[in-house]
Structure 1
Amino acid sequence: MIMNTATGLICILACFYQAMGLKVTGYVGQSVVLKTRVDPSSVHLSRIQWSIYTNTSIIVVWDSGDLKEPFWRHKGRLTLNISTGDLQIKNLRVDDSLTYTVSLLTETTDQTEIQFELVVQEHLSKPDIAVLFNSLVKDTCIIALRCSIAEAGITLSWAPPDGFDQPFWNSNNTNNSSELWTSIKPHTNISFTCNASDSNRKASSQKVVQCQEEEPKASPQFLRHRYGIIFALLFFCITILLFKVHAPPKAILHGGEKREAVTP
């Protein structure tokens, strides 16, 4: 009776996964587990075989206590759970995106196959945040930020810090970028977060914005003094130059006698 129940469970699992076309997503450099959903308390496996490609290239097989990894492609990156048939693939690569087939065998059942479609993706890059505008206007700092990302089809959204009570406006995600406009109080540092996501991946970046006060303007009196100093220095330099040009020629000593230099 127990074996018949086990047979029924495996058949149900196989039919379910084949009907759903089970798709599993993994990320480069990480690990993923292809789960058979077999309950080891009611199903006792005697043989487990995982393969890839249509020509059934076996990557790992367990048969009555004997474990082998005959195919070089995943060598050293596989961990097989002999109780459930689950397969862990470590250090994922983009070319691991394949169809994986597991064949499960119990003591009383024929071989049952379940297929998994593994898709390995690159990590989503973090979005870039640039400051478009930052200026103090009438005791209020007006801030404008732009969040952008190189990849297409990515949704961008803004998140102000907790407790931020100022109104803000953000544009729709167009051309892989989104803008945020808001105001903050002077002498404060506020961190804004831009979130990027698609159906499977997420990434975020933060930007700390500090209110930039206007540079102090010089007073008219200071400007008059500055221009006066520049004019005086210029007049002094011109006077020295004219003095050197029109100075009388110096006497030249020759043979112990003083003679005037003759200008040709």
Structure 2
Amino acid sequence: MRIEIILILFLEVTLVQSLSEVSGYVGENVTLPSGADPSWQLATIDWSVFPNNTWIATYRSGKENIERLHQYTGRLSLNISSGDLTIYNLTPEDAMEYTVDLLNSKAQDKVNKIKLTVRPSAEHLQRPTIQTVTSTSAEGGCWIGLHCSSTDQGVGFAWQINPPSVTVFRMSNPDGNSAALLAFLNTTHNPVQFTCTSSGQMESTSSVVTHNCDDDKPQPPEPKLLPQLRCRYVWVFFIGCFLGISLTAITFYIFKEQIRSAWQWLKDKLACTQ
């Protein structure tokens, strides 16, 4: 009877293990979630690897130790509130199963396992490309047709429109590797944001474009001089030339004696040098 009571108490405080999967890329960072109940106040956190449960990061008696294994030296960060473990600068050798053992202040225990997959950085999803296939004015607004495609195979697409009040008439995925959207914008709309998201098994990425009904309007021509202004500039030019010539003539008339004397003096000097 005593053994049964102890067993029941053990099952009450020890929660069942769970296995989750996390994916990361070589050279980047990844956070392994501990799965701790947010209401818990954690007293002990033990992260371990390998079948023999080799500790790589621990938190006990208010002290953390993240330098337990040479393979992870300088590459770990432990959140003592949530129990989450962050691994920096991922390497292919980091791909394995991780175990976290949690104990809260009420002596409740939980053990979770996380399988980490490390992929080459070249396997990142590429950002989708959004092309405007039509932009046509219509009464009270305009039609905007968009086509979103990706170089990645086997991805799904989703559109988000902001503001969501824009009327979308057609959404399709005709070839399995692209998505199309046809929308009607009112002339009163501010620029509308269209977001296309492509998603794979473990990752998603997005591209954004903005449109409004002014995008397809021709730009106003450069301002041209009116005929009256053109004639006015011509008259100003001729008047300036006339005043310049007149001023020169008047100056010559007033100072003609001085000019004649200076010219005679110059001729005498030139004669003396010969």
Task: Give the TM-score normalised by the residue count of structure 1.
Answer: 0.54
Amino acid at match of 1:97: A
Aligned residue type for 1:190: V
Counterpart in 1 of 2:97? 99
The code of the aligned residue for 1:170 comes to M
Change (3 A) 1:34 1:179: closer
Deviation at 1:179, TM superposition (A): 0.9
Secondary structure of 1:193's partner?
strand
Corresponding residue pairs, total:
201
User: Partner residue of 1:134?
Assistant: 135
Mapping 1:105-254, distance limit 5 Å: 114-119=112-117, 124-136=125-137, 141-162=142-163, 164-172=165-173, 174-185=175-186, 189-198=191-200, 200-209=202-211, 210-213=214-217
Cα separation, 2, equivalents of 1:56 and 1:93:
20
CA contact (8 A) 1:30 1:90 kept: yes
In 2 relative to 1, CA 71–142 (structure 1 residues): closer, same or farther, beyond 3 Å?
same
Give the drift of 1:23. Answer: 0.9
Among 14, 22, 45, the residue aligned to 1:25: 22
SS in structure 2 at match of 1:73: helix
| SS in structure 1 at match of 2:209 | strand
Give the C-alpha shift of residue 35 in structure 1: 1.6
Question: CA 1:180–1:57 in structure 2 vs 1: closer, same or farther (change >3 Å)?
Answer: same
Amino acid at match of 2:149: S
Shift of 1:120: 5.1
The one-letter code of the counterpart of 1:169 is: R
Residue 86 of structure 2 is matched in structure 1 by: 89
2:253 aligns to what? none
1:189-244 Cα shifts (integer Å, max 9, x gaps): 4332223334554433221225424799xxxxxxxxxxxxxxxxxxxxxxxxxxxx
User: How far off its partner does 1:100 sit?
Assistant: 1.1
| Shift in CA distance, 204/160, structure 1 to aligned 2, threshold 3 Å | same
Contact 2:22 2:114 survives alignment (8 Å): no
Could you tell me whether the CA contact under 8 Å between 1:77 and 1:91 is conserved in 2? yes
Separation in structure 1 between the aligned mates of residue 40 and residue 138 of structure 2, nearest angstrom = 69
Cα pair 1:102 1:113 within 8 Å, conserved? yes
Which amino acid letter does the alignment assign opposite residue 91 of structure 1?
Y
User: Which residue of structure 1 aligns with residue 261 of structure 2?
Assistant: none
Higher helix share: 2
- Are 1:134 and 1:141, in contact at CA under 8 Å, matched by a contact in 2? yes
Q: Structure 2-normalised TM-score?
A: 0.52
The structure-2 alpha-carbon separation of the partners of 1:66 and 1:169, relative to structure 1 and needing over 3 Å to count, comes to closer
Measure how far apart 1:103 and its partner are: 6.1
Gaps in structure 1 of 5+ consecutive residues: 217-264
Give me the whole-angstrom Cα distance separating, in 2, the residues matched to 1:8 and 1:82: 25
Structure 2, unaligned runs of 5 or more: 1-5, 221-274
- Separation of aligned partners in 2, 1:68 and 1:193: 41
Name the CA shift for 1:66/1:187 in 2 (closer, same or farther; >3 Å): closer
Aligned to 2:47: 50
CA–CA separation in structure 1 for the residues paired with 2:144 and 2:194:
11
Structure 2 counterpart of 1:182, which letter? Answer: A
Distance 2:11 2:164 in 1: 56
How many angstroms does 1:172 deviate by?
Answer: 2.2
Percent identical across equivalent pairs?
Answer: 24
CA distance in 2, matches of 1:130, 1:8: 58
- Report the Cα distance in structure 2 between the residues aligned to 1:175 and 1:187, rounded to whole angstroms: 35
Q: Is the 8 A contact 1:25 1:119 kept in 2?
A: yes
CA contact (8 A) 2:147 2:180 kept: yes
CA distance in 1 between counterparts of 2:55 and 2:173 reads 49
Structure 1 segments (4+ residues) deviating >6 Å: 3-6, 38-41, 62-66, 81-84
